[in-house]
Amino acid sequence: MRRRPTLVLTLAAAAAVMAGCATGADPAPTGPTTGTSVASSSETPVSGTPTTPLVTVTPAVNDTTLLAAPLEGATVEGPSVEVTGEATAFEGTLSWLVYPVGGSAEDPAQQGSADTGANGEIAPFAFTVDLEPGEWVVQVFEASAKDGTPLRPVAVTFTVS
């Protein structure tokens, strides 16, 4: 069962609506399933101040995993960082690792696993890591049943303040 396109469109639409509500502008158009899109508005709000261009960042996603938080390029308050998303993985076990920018996935600072959906059923996952201030990469993936090799990894880079 593949629900990914509906989920991605729903999240992208919700992010656009929320961004529009937060600034008083019309919602930004949704962009591609990954990356950043910029929408600007020529409208002037009631206060007379021109609006600031809206920047919408969509979650990192592939065909089995959506990494919703932290978002690519985000700055989050530490030391505890909550990582959330939705996925399906072999036996409902999603592997994860965290390493500093410039470091390597082969030598992670932290690693573990989280429960998620199995057998093609998408379900939420969440875990918390304690990190020092700096730039970090979090990667989530299904580990190969054969040798543990990461299958379909999804990663984001973010900053802990």
Residue 41 pLDDT greater than 50, yes or no: no
The pLDDT value given to residue 61: 76
Better-predicted residue by pLDDT, 115 or 12: 115
pLDDT surpassing 90 at residue 122: yes
Give the whole-angstrom CA distance, residue 15 versus residue 158: 19
- The residue with greater pLDDT, 159 or 36, is 159
**Domain boundaries defined on the chain:** 1-58, 61-161
pTM of the model: 0.64
CATH class of the domain defined by 61-161? mainly beta
What is the per-residue pLDDT across 45-86, written as a single tens digit (0 to 9) for each?
555 555 555 555 567 777 789 999 999 999 999 899 999 999
Please tell me what DSSP assigns to residue 93.
Answer: E
Alpha helices in 84-142 (DSSP H): none
